[in-house]
């Protein structure tokens, strides 16, 4: 049986995760949120007080571990971790380690699942270049900042809209302009506009995925 890989890329706060969850539930696929690996590494670096600007210390730490867990946790979604995750994601060794980690997870999961929906920034362009279906999620930064602001308030965190917008624009800039695997629309990707209600997005996804059946 052919195994299916669907890549879902897009900028911070574009709703990739929700889309990946919708697809994986609908088609019984394993969902891998690759961003959680960058977030988990960022959180360990903060806890261990490793200087995130010091590539050498990060490399030494990476050589001491084999694997990062992809288990999701709300604690990994705060703004400090988001910021550091995006900073360490520019380091070649970090990407190499996390890409190998992702491939190992997918390989293992494909033994029991018929496919995987993987979301991130470089999934269709780099990590799974041969993905069967590639999606790229688009939403302008103001709408993304508004959604993020609302989410933080609902989580009981402090949030200032102007600050969130500034941070989203900064993360976009870092993700798009880095040398290693910058955020790009992968060749052959279907662009999904997720700025309207999710019901609208679902219709676009269903149209893009009709070939699965």
E strands along the chain, which residues?
A: 4-9, 30-33, 115-120, 133-138, 190-193
What are the structure tokens assigned to 177, written together? 């302009």
User: Under a CB-based contact definition with an 8 Å cutoff, are residues 106 and 118 in contact?
Assistant: yes
* Complex with ligand C5P: residue 29 or 172, whichever CB lies closer: 172
Query: What's the min distance (Å) between Cβ of 89 and ligand C5P?
Result: 3
* Complex with ligand C5P: residue 181 or 201, whichever CB lies closer: 181
Query: What's the min distance (Å) between Cβ of 123 and ligand C5P?
Result: 6
Site for ligand C5P in 109-168 (CB under 6 A): 120-123
Q: Is 63 exposed, middle or buried (0-12, 13-18, 19+ CB in 10 A)?
A: exposed
User: Under a CB-based contact definition with an 8 Å cutoff, are residues 39 and 73 in contact?
Assistant: no
* Complex with ligand C5P: residue 112 or 130, whichever CB lies closer: 130
* Complex with ligand C5P: residue 172 or 204, whichever CB lies closer: 172
> Residue 190: what are its φ and ψ, rounded to 5°?
-90, 130
* Complex with ligand C5P: residue 115 or 186, whichever CB lies closer: 186
The 4-9 sheet, strands edge to edge: 30-33, 115-120, 4-9, 133-138, 190-193
User: Under a CB-based contact definition with an 8 Å cutoff, are residues 87 and 22 in contact?
Assistant: no
* Complex with ligand C5P: residue 176 or 206, whichever CB lies closer: 176
Site for ligand C5P in 172-211 (CB under 6 A): 175
Query: What's the min distance (Å) between Cβ of 11 and ligand C5P?
Result: 8
Q: Which of 121, 169, 120, 122 is nearest to 143 (CA)?
A: 169
Q: Which of 122, 45, 114, 35 is nearest to 84 (CA)?
A: 45
Per-residue binding string, ligand C5P, 7-46, x by CB under 6 A, is -----x---------------------xx--xx-------
Query: What's the min distance (Å) between Cβ of 213 and ligand C5P?
Result: 28
Query: What's the min distance (Å) between Cβ of 113 and ligand C5P?
Result: 20
Per-residue binding string, ligand C5P, 71-110, x by CB under 6 A, is --------------xx--x---------------------
CA distance 141 to 167: 10
Query: Which stretches of the chain bind ligand C5P, using CB under 6 A?
Result: 12, 34-35, 38-39, 85-86, 89, 120-123, 171, 175
């Amino acid at each position: 049986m052919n195994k299916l890989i669907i890549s879902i890329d897009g900028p911070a706060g574009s709703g990739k995760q929700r889309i990946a969850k919708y697809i994986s539930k609908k088609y019984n696929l394993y969902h891998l949120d690759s961003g959680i690996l960058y977030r988990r590494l960022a959180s360990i670096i903060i806890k261990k007080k490793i200087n995130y600007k010091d590539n050498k210390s990060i490399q030494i730490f990476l050589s001491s571990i084999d694997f990062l867990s992809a288990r999701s946790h709300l604690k990994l979604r705060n703004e400090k971790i988001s910021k550091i995750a995006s900073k360490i994601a520019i380091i070649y060794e970090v990407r190499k380690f996390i890409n190998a980690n992702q491939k190992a997870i997918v390989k293992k999961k494909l033994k029991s699942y018929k496919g995987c929906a993987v979301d991130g920034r470089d999934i269709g362009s780099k990590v799974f270049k041969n993905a069967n279906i590639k999606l790229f999620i688009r939403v302008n930064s103001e709408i993304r900042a508004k959604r993020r602001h609302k989410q933080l308030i609902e989580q009981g965190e402090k949030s200032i809209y102007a600050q969130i917008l500034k941070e989203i624009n900064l993360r976009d800039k870092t993700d798009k302009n880095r040398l290693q695997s910058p955020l790009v629309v992968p060749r052959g990707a279907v662009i999904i506009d997720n700025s309207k209600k999710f019901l609208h997005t679902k219709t676009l996804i269903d149209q893009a995925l009709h070939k699965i059946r």
